[in-house]
Amino acid sequence: MKPEIYSARLAKIRDWMIDEGISLVMLEDTEGRRDLNIRWLTGHPGDALLFIGAGQLPKEDKAILVAWDVNLAKIYADHSSVLIGSYNDFGRKPIKAIAAVAQTLGLPVGAKIEIPSVTPYPLFLDYVGEITDYDIICGKKGSGAELSKLRAVKDSLEIDNIKKAADITNEIIDLLESNVLSGKIKTEQAAALFIETEARKRGCEGTSFETLAAGAQRSFAIHAFPAYTCEPFGTDGLSILDFGVKYNGYCTDVTLTFARNLNPKQEKLVAMVEKAAKLAASMAQSGTLAKDIAASVDSFFNKSKKKMPHSLGHGVGLQEHEFPVIRNAADNEWVLEPGMIFTIEPGLYDPVLGGCRLENDILITENGHEVLTTARIIYL
Amino acid sequence: MKPEIYSARLAKIRDWMIDEGISLVMLEDTEGRRDLNIRWLTGHPGDALLFIGAGQLPKEDKAILVAWDVNLAKIYADHSSVLIGSYNDFGRKPIKAIAAVAQTLGLPVGAKIEIPSVTPYPLFLDYVGEITDYDIICGKKGSGAELSKLRAVKDSLEIDNIKKAADITNEIIDLLESNVLSGKIKTEQAAALFIETEARKRGCEGTSFETLAAGAQRSFAIHAFPAYTCEPFGTDGLSILDFGVKYNGYCTDVTLTFARNLNPKQEKLVAMVEKAAKLAASMAQSGTLAKDIAASVDSFFNKSKKKMPHSLGHGVGLQEHEFPVIRNAADNEWVLEPGMIFTIEPGLYDPVLGGCRLENDILITENGHEVLTTARIIYL
């Protein structure tokens, strides 16, 4: 990423802070409370606190990073942020780091400091109890929500990265098809490790998440458990392969279903999932309410008394699951706009027939949409 | 696991609930807020809410599970819990599920309901605002802390599983040594995927976490980023390999350092890490304060003006990081007792020399301790 992109992103969140009267925002990426906004704002891959000052305080436009691994931070983040020591220097206690940063910035008494909206209630009480000079803010509509909104619409650099990840994904899909057809890939593990190998060979950081490879005996589950085993893959019935690759931090997320010697009920299941995917894609354009697409698919399935046990889709980006949400829920207010990239992944699952899911990644453009990935039903 | 073990565990948490006057506890394992206590209490691997009633309410000793994937729950959890429908039936809203469960159990108005201690503050406000008939409890010293204490001391079934995982880990360590020595494993990726393959071949669910394989150019980082690449592994200098395997859900966590053609400074680094590991192990026995062991290692390193940038160790079990904490911190009150299993993992890292970490898993016994794993410095 170009260094200036980070300054531009920081400027956006500072604009929001000034509007809200917030002087200091703390972001936290620690075990149990991951936050990829730190990577989005600085390039640093994680395990850190990030402090952003706004208003008349900051002497410069850099943010203050408190990283667990200072050596790693020097490589990834020093163009957009200042390091004021390691997370360990503050006993791994965000409250102590806040005190140090407040002093560094000369934060006036009574200033508003926002802590992450995911802060547990008992921990929130500690913040309020121990930080008495400042006004601690922690709410749903905070910087986290603002960052989610910003990140839901990808800029051109992000679109380039996801397109590159999609190209690699598509190459791997073609190779998976030929290798399962030829019998070279015969087990769930062989499929999963093939993807790991091919992704890194092409310069990816890795896969977006642990690959789910479920042979015909296990495809009934939405997310197979365990994720993959040494059991056969691609035998009679329906086998599901759900994976993604991560390029410069940017994820794809696709699902293929492999079908062999289906019975009529299984054929019907597959045909319905394919129709649902087409129906959803046909509605994907700027201005559409995300929940309307999901509702159309749910109602299409309901006509045949089928029920999809998960959302229709979700945004992809630095995280494998981010915004917008493509779910049929009354409180889902996401409206599609150009630059949004999300999955469409209709699926049906049956303890006897097995499962079928078809998932592709879609970019909303000015004039409609572009399907970035080539996941499909593969007949063996 | 034997079904009766789950009833016994539920009984323990119910005893605690009765002492605390809590009628209903809700556990949540969802994206962003994982909780392996649900697996520990029911066998269900995840994505679910679990409700435990106590006092005069429950008609039976089973807990109530609200799973995302009902088909999966029927396989893994139906011996210890009752399913009252899918998480989707409640619009994925815990508050709605609580209302249904309260009705099912006939919970009297004013009863105490505990929600997870990790519940974000803004979400806590929603619970309190929407659930007016009951007293919502959310605190640090809740059932989560109680479960952590219970889980920190393994029972004999758990010890058997971890010992089996350790045996598999040790076989893989020997194979890694011979394959790196013979030149069969030459890259980070080859090492990482070898572990994935060998673990599942031996019946493991998978690895405990994404393997960290850092060749000599990348071993300076505490946790290499990315976790592994196609770069060389085991060339001149220090290469780190941090991995674990998961057997029946139970994790190991070990780190090997591979050393080739070291310069005197690197040799000294390795010698110090080895000495620190021996020092720590020599103190590992029932009754010892965990922080005292970590303090001894820190002070040993400090004598040579070295600093370890992470904790000395952590418990292992269903999670790769759990209790006890083996950290040099004033508020760390863990005392070792028989049945505790944890890592001892001294490490030193230098941007020029590279890094060295040596991590093994240790079981505290009545008479001392048992080192379960055979991680070591491997000279190439």
- At residue B60, the pLDDT reads 60
Q: Which of residues 29-58 of B touch A (CB under 8 A)?
A: 31-32, 34, 45-47
Residue of chain B nearest A87, judged by CA positions: B309
Domain CATH code at residue A257: 3.90.230.10
- At residue B68, the pLDDT reads 93
Residue of chain A nearest B352, judged by CA positions: A71
- At residue A29, what are phi and psi to the nearest 5 degrees? -125, 95
What rounded mean pLDDT belongs to chain B? 95
Q: How far apart are CA A275 and CA A282, in angstroms?
A: 11
Is residue A59 pLDDT above 70, yes or no? no
Look-up of token digits 């706004």: A54
Picking from B101, B130, B150, the residue at the C-terminal end of a domain is B150
β-partners of residue A363 are A341, A370
Range(s) of the domain holding residue B359:
153-379
The pLDDT > 90 percentage for chain B reads 90
- At residue A60, the pLDDT reads 60
Closest C-alpha to B327, from B297, B360, B359: B297
- At residue A212, what are phi and psi to the nearest 5 degrees? -100, 110
Q: Which of residues 210-239 of A touch B (CB under 8 A)?
A: 210, 220-223, 225-230
Q: Same domain, yes or no, for A235 and A373?
A: yes
Q: Closest Cα of chain B to A203: distance in Å?
A: 8
pTM over 0.80: yes
Angle CA(B282)–CA(B159)–CA(B195) in degrees, nearest 5?
A: 85
Q: Same domain, yes or no, for A127 and A246?
A: no
- At residue B4, the pLDDT reads 86
Q: How far apart are CA A41 and CA A126, in angstroms?
A: 27
Collect all residues of chain A within an 8 Å Cβ-Cβ radius of residue B253.
Answer: none
A85 interface with B at CB cutoff 8 Å = no
- At residue B3, the pLDDT reads 76
Is residue A1 pLDDT above 70, yes or no? no
Is residue B302 pLDDT above 90, yes or no? yes
Count how many pairs of residues, chain A against chain B, have C-beta atoms within 8 Å. 111
Q: Same domain, yes or no, for A160 and A97?
A: no
Mean pLDDT of A259-285: 98
- At residue B23, the pLDDT reads 95
A349 interface with B at CB cutoff 8 Å = yes
Q: Same domain, yes or no, for B281 and B294?
A: yes
> Which of helix, strand or coil describes residue B84?
strand
Q: Same domain, yes or no, for A314 and A169?
A: yes
Mean pLDDT of B11-39: 95
Q: How confident is the model at residue B2 (pLDDT cuts 50, 70, 90)?
A: confident
Residue of chain A nearest B123, judged by CA positions: A140
- At residue B277, the pLDDT reads 98
Collect all residues of chain A within an 8 Å Cβ-Cβ radius of residue B228.
Answer: 200, 206
Collect all residues of chain A within an 8 Å Cβ-Cβ radius of residue B34.
Answer: 32
Tally of CB atoms within 10 A around B84: 17
**Burial of B265: CB neighbours in 10 Å, binned 0-12, 13-18, 19+:** exposed
Is residue A19 pLDDT above 70, yes or no? yes
Q: Which of residues 89-148 of B touch A (CB under 8 A)?
A: 91, 117-122, 124, 138-140
Q: Same domain, yes or no, for B215 and B360?
A: yes
**CB contact at 8 A, B127 and B117:** no
The gap from C-alpha A260 to its chain's centroid, in whole angstroms, comes to 32
Mean pLDDT of B176-201: 97
Angle CA(A300)–CA(B72)–CA(B33) in degrees, nearest 5?
A: 90
Q: Same domain, yes or no, for B77 and B119?
A: yes
What rounded mean pLDDT belongs to chain A? 95
Q: Same domain, yes or no, for A93 and A177?
A: no
Is residue B126 pLDDT above 80, yes or no? yes
* Strands lying side by side in the sheet with A24-29: A81-86, A63-67, A48-53, A24-29, A112-114, A135-137
Mean pLDDT of B362-373: 98
Condensed to tens digits (0 to 9), the pLDDT of residues B232-282 reads: 999 999 999 999 999 999 999 999 999 999 999 999 999 999 999 999 999
Cβ–Cβ below 8 Å for B45 and A205: no
Residue type, A28: E
Q: Same domain, yes or no, for B311 and B203?
A: yes
Secondary structure E strands in chain A: 24-29, 48-53, 63-67, 81-86, 112-114, 135-137, 206-207, 212-214, 237-243, 245-247, 250-251, 254-260, 313-315, 322-326, 341-344, 347-350, 354-357, 360-364, 369-371, 377-379
Angle CA(A55)–CA(A61)–CA(A65) in degrees, nearest 5?
A: 100
- At residue B32, the pLDDT reads 84
Q: How confident is the model at residue B320 (pLDDT cuts 50, 70, 90)?
A: very high
Condensed to tens digits (0 to 9), the pLDDT of residues B49-93 reads: 999 999 866 556 789 999 999 999 999 997 778 888 888 899 889
